[in-house]
Structure 1
């Protein structure tokens, strides 16, 4: 199956250029881009340059959706993913400040194909971090009960229900006896702020938890955030501690994929990383 890569872009052409170069080097066969509209006149030059870059892609078929207004990242992702997954069984999603290691597309599409009909698996990702990666993987991927928002892929079947507000999904988890702080005490606060702050990822986390779904992670990260700066102003406060060490080559596609079961160290590692600082 052809799995499109969906790019969400706003006003940073310098970062988008790096993202597109990495996708080109990885041989991505189909690109769908959502270009968010400017919030004010100050955003117009950046948005204009971003759209020019997207329209100039010639190394694969490209479909560019230029939003007439600014939705913000959360609404843009949920709307864009829903629209793409209405047309395709599966897709991979990348924001404009993420760069993938060569081989990541092949790795993720192989995982999407292998687990396509397994309801226990709800997503795959190219990202992990030493703070939350279990020991002793020996180059094998692993399953986490917490989903990911940095270079991730999913299927139409797993995305259904993502139109609910995050706080509602969290409350459904609590009603079923699911520990809503399983992956960190910050999760309920983030769910409460998801609407006002236009966040989407916490709803994706709770969507997995509500269904007991799993996210497949690689043994080491296959992507990195390019929006860091010395003050960390392009990311949330304290996020620089999530910068990865230099990326290593992509591991080979496994001959035998793991049986879907969450690694027992995942939740404790997340709580230590989030609550331990």
Structure 2
């Protein structure tokens, strides 16, 4: 019996909205995965923001129904953050673990194998809050073994977690008053990216509705890590005018997609944070690169 057959596969939950072509591309990439047919698929479709979006949302629902009977279509627009928090909470309560995708992503053919194996391997490691399918283009340090590295910042571009980790997240950020005036902790939070505190402050002041920054803040507060692959199993194609969060063509996040075709991966039970990797990860969230990205956005480049 193969390693994958021994595992209890995680459900795959897709969050979609008004982009039928994007959802079609994601599903076609998932179908290339050996574990696709064995995996239980759920699709959450958010409601339209206006009557003009209704036809696009209906087209997304039709595509979702072609692959699964587990289609949950909202009659109203909840927004991505609320949709994900509610949907993940519902599924993870029943299944104990979850793999999450948004409709602007495309997966490699070994995405499901990697995600399920990592979920199985790190399930008992309480230092790990999530498994990320997306990995930044990070040079593997000399002598480093294993196919993954630890990050203090989870990625929302194809990820997975377990029920006991998800239930530790305080979505209300009840300690905001204390944290917001604590310069030492704010600086420590920003070691995972110069944009972290600004994004969390933006949520607390109503300028964004991000679920991901709240997840990352709780990850920081709990002192936990995410597992990320050196060779990314996910590509984000959601940059453009119709994207929910990334309305520009340029992305500062560089990645090297996994084209190896490997279906078995090397994980280290004693994996530890690596200073060189942490420095390389921070570069993608540095002030300099963020300014460059903003300039390109202003110039529509």
With structure 1 as the length reference, what TM-score do the two structures score? 0.88
Partner of 2:230 in structure 1? 219
> Displacement, 1:253?
2.5
Counterpart of 1:36 (choices 46, 57, 62) is 46
Aligned-pair Cα RMSD in Å = 2.6
Structure 2 unaligned spans of 5+? 1-7, 290-301
Residues 61-100 of structure 1: pairs in structure 2 closer than 5 A: 62-100=69-107
> Displacement, 1:245?
4.8
CA distance in 2 between counterparts of 1:9 and 1:200 reads: 16
CA contact (8 A) 2:122 2:269 kept: no
Per-residue Cα deviation, 1:95-153 (whole angstroms, up to 9, x for no partner): 001011011101110110111121111110111121x5554456621111111101000
Higher mean alpha-carbon deviation, 34-43 vs 175-184, is at 175-184
Residues 9-20 of structure 1: pairs in structure 2 closer than 5 A: 9-20=16-27
Q: Which runs of 4+ in 1 moved over 6 A?
A: 173-176
Bigger Cα Rg: 2
With over 3 angstroms needed to count, the CA separation of the structure-2 counterparts of 1:159 and 1:182, relative to structure 1, is same
CA contact (8 A) 1:166 1:191 kept: no
Residues 1-277 of structure 1: pairs in structure 2 closer than 5 A: 1-26=8-33, 27-28=35-36, 29-57=39-67, 62-130=69-137, 132=138, 134-136=140-142, 137=144, 140-166=147-173, 168=175, 178=185, 179-195=188-204, 196=206, 197-229=208-240, 234=243, 235-237=246-248, 240-245=251-256, 247-275=258-286, 276-277=288-289
Per-residue Cα deviation, 1:146-198 (whole angstroms, up to 9, x for no partner): 11101000000111133423584695598696412111221111001225221
**Secondary structure, aligned partner of 2:47:** coil
Higher mean alpha-carbon deviation, 234-243 vs 197-206, is at 234-243
CA distance in 1 between counterparts of 2:63 and 2:153 reads: 34
> Displacement, 1:270?
3.3
Higher mean alpha-carbon deviation, 195-204 vs 177-186, is at 177-186
CA distance in 1 between counterparts of 2:163 and 2:59 reads: 32
CA distance in 2 between counterparts of 1:253 and 1:201 reads: 29
With structure 2 as the length reference, what TM-score do the two structures score? 0.81
> Displacement, 1:62?
4.1
**Secondary structure, aligned partner of 1:274:** coil
> Displacement, 1:9?
0.2
CA contact (8 A) 1:123 1:155 kept: yes
Structure 1 unaligned spans of 5+? none
